[in-house]
Structure 1
Amino acid sequence: MRNIVFGILVIVFALTSCSQDDESLQRIDQVLNIYMKSTTNQDLLNAKKNGSYSSFSVNDFLGDKDDSPVNTFALKMRQDSTYYLEYIAGAKRKKFDSAGTTYYSRMRVTLTKTVDNKPESTIDTLEIHYRNSPNLFQVSKVFYNKKPVFSKEADNPAWINNVTITK
């Protein structure tokens, strides 16, 4: 009988200790949709168009090794046939400050296209800044080749951050 009472108490304690209200959860906002276009507005990620990139790779500058691929980038297409790179997460983040309220990730983006029947690669840098609070972890700024291409105010409700890079 004592074992049954003890078992019931353990189950009740486990259930009550696991319950949390939604206010105590931290929202995560770190999805980026990266669009690349030329100065003439051509979609540079559509490999079927002349002068566009046919492949890409992304490596983490802050990774454990010199060659740390970031495999969470995916080439996607909208319904209007515009291509974009979707980044969900995956690169290491480092603290900007000792308080832990700002972080950053830095990546090398290699884009390859065919010029005169030969592959030609361009190496760029992508840096993402994050803002951290007890309620929210979110993208705050994005830099491409050290130039700002995106910024968002604190607590902006957008979950998917659209970044357009003109090359």
Structure 2
Amino acid sequence: MHFLIRLQTSHPNTEISLNYPYMLSAAIYKIIAKEDAEYAQFLHEQGYGKKFKFFTFSQLNTPFKIDRGRMKLISNEAYFQIAFHLPHAVESFVKGLFQSEQIELADKISKVAFKVTSVESLPDPLKFHKDNELISVLLKLKARLITLVILFFLLIALSRIEIRQHTRQSRIA
């Protein structure tokens, strides 16, 4: 499931760390823990397989200025998207979010509490694709990227050869 989370802080000109994704990740674990502490600890400590968490989130979208290595928020409103693959994670996050109705981003220098103003369910962007279709698209993109990288290096090599030939001809003349 895919959600759009809209947030509001009590006042603009709040500062947060440029490393806020780490803080947002920690806040997501805390929200999940409010509903199911054991599951949140499992996700954080172990995850599935190679520590896959099966959730992801976007950047925090809000106007800001960078001031002394910090993000100074110009607006008191922000939003981000979050997507979950597993139903248990979705359920724990949504229930935990409605228990607290806020998201806190904190580091050693500052702490900002955002009130959750809305949670919107977004359509699944992969809904109309088959699994093998996505793999096919990814493989085509990888093949194109590899081709572009090879062409790039060939162009560099050719330009070096042309420079050497031009230098030799200049010496002869």
TM-score by length of 2: 0.26
Larger Rg: 2
Q: Could you say which structure has the higher strand fraction?
A: 1
Q: Could you say which structure has the higher helix fraction?
A: 2
TM-score by length of 1: 0.26
